[in-house]
Amino acid sequence: MSGEPSLTELLRQIRACRLCAEHLPLGPRPVVRANAAAPLLIVGQAPGTRVHESGIPWNDRSGDRLRDWLQLDRATFYDESRVAIVPMGFCYPGVDRNGGDKPPRRECAPLWHEAIRARLPHVALTLLVGQYAQAHYLGAARKSTMTETVRAWRDFLPDFLPLPHPSWRNTAWLKRNPWFAEDLLPDLRRRVGAVLGR
Ligand code: SF4
């Protein structure tokens, strides 16, 4: 990677990005965390307003649920040398006409993800949280629905493990799909513990 920017320089470039500023109601504020030593990568969707305000990813109820799924305390979850957090869109995209958050800006992942991923040589497991991360990283290998993609999680191991978004809006989904808590979560926790050396 001689002549290529370091991860530190790349993160500096990302934090200065304004590529889709005209579409961002609160303006650019990229939220991304990465350290070259990290063995676990979490690819989510895009910041909500609370994360936009704090600049801390998963600093909300969805994050609490995700940490519970992973059985990670906040100190471990926010240790950049252990967990890299790289959403599909780094900036808050605004709300759609139904009041839900808009999808991640489509410009973002193609512009930045490959370069970040190339600077994370120790990643042993990538969690794909939600349909946008699954579409980008699994491509044609993903199933016809998010539920079927998550249900087929074993097909994508050992590199990738797809998850639903841990939004509280998905509580009914979790009730409808008991295999998630009974089968997937124990496997997820075991794999996360193994890559983090716990
Ligand atoms: S969402 Fe991504 S591409 Fe758009 S301004 Fe933020 S960092 Fe740049």
Task: Judge if the beta carbon of residue 20 lies within 6 A of ligand 1.
Answer: yes
CATH of the domain at 53: 3.40.470.10
Whole-number Å distance, alpha carbon 92 to ligand 1 midpoint, is 9
Residue 42 in domain: yes
Point out the ligand 1 atom lying closest to the alpha carbon of residue 111: 3
pLDDT for 2 equals 54
H-only helix segments in 6-126:
7-15, 49-54, 61-70, 74-77, 108-118
pLDDT for 51 equals 93
Taking residues 146-166, report their average pLDDT.
Answer: 97
Residue 2 in domain: no
Residue 29: give the domain boundaries. Answer: 7-195
Residue 29 in domain: yes
Residue 120 in domain: yes
Mark 136-145 as b/e (b = at least 16 C-beta within 10 Å): bbbeeebeee
Taking residues 33-61, report their average pLDDT.
Answer: 95
How far is 58 from 47, CA to CA, in rounded Å? 8
Q: Which residue has the tokens 């926790």?
A: 189
Does the structure show a pLDDT above 70 at 31? Answer: yes
Whole-number Å distance, alpha carbon 101 to ligand 1 midpoint, is 16
The whole-chain average pLDDT of the chain stands at 96
Tens digits of residue pLDDT in 70-93: 999 999 999 999 999 999 999 999
Residue 161 in domain: yes
Residue 3 CB: number of other CB atoms within 10 A? 4
ω into 104 cis (within 30 of 0): no
Which residues lie below 8 Å from residue 88, measured CB to CB, with a gap of 6+?
43, 44, 45, 46, 104, 108, 109, 113, 130, 132, 133, 136
Count structural domains, the chain.
1
Angle at 63 between CA 137 and CA 10, to 5 degrees: 50
Rounded to two decimals, the pTM is: 0.96
Does the structure show a pLDDT above 70 at 158? Answer: yes
Residue 1 in domain: no
Does the structure show a pLDDT above 70 at 135? Answer: yes
Residue 179 in domain: yes
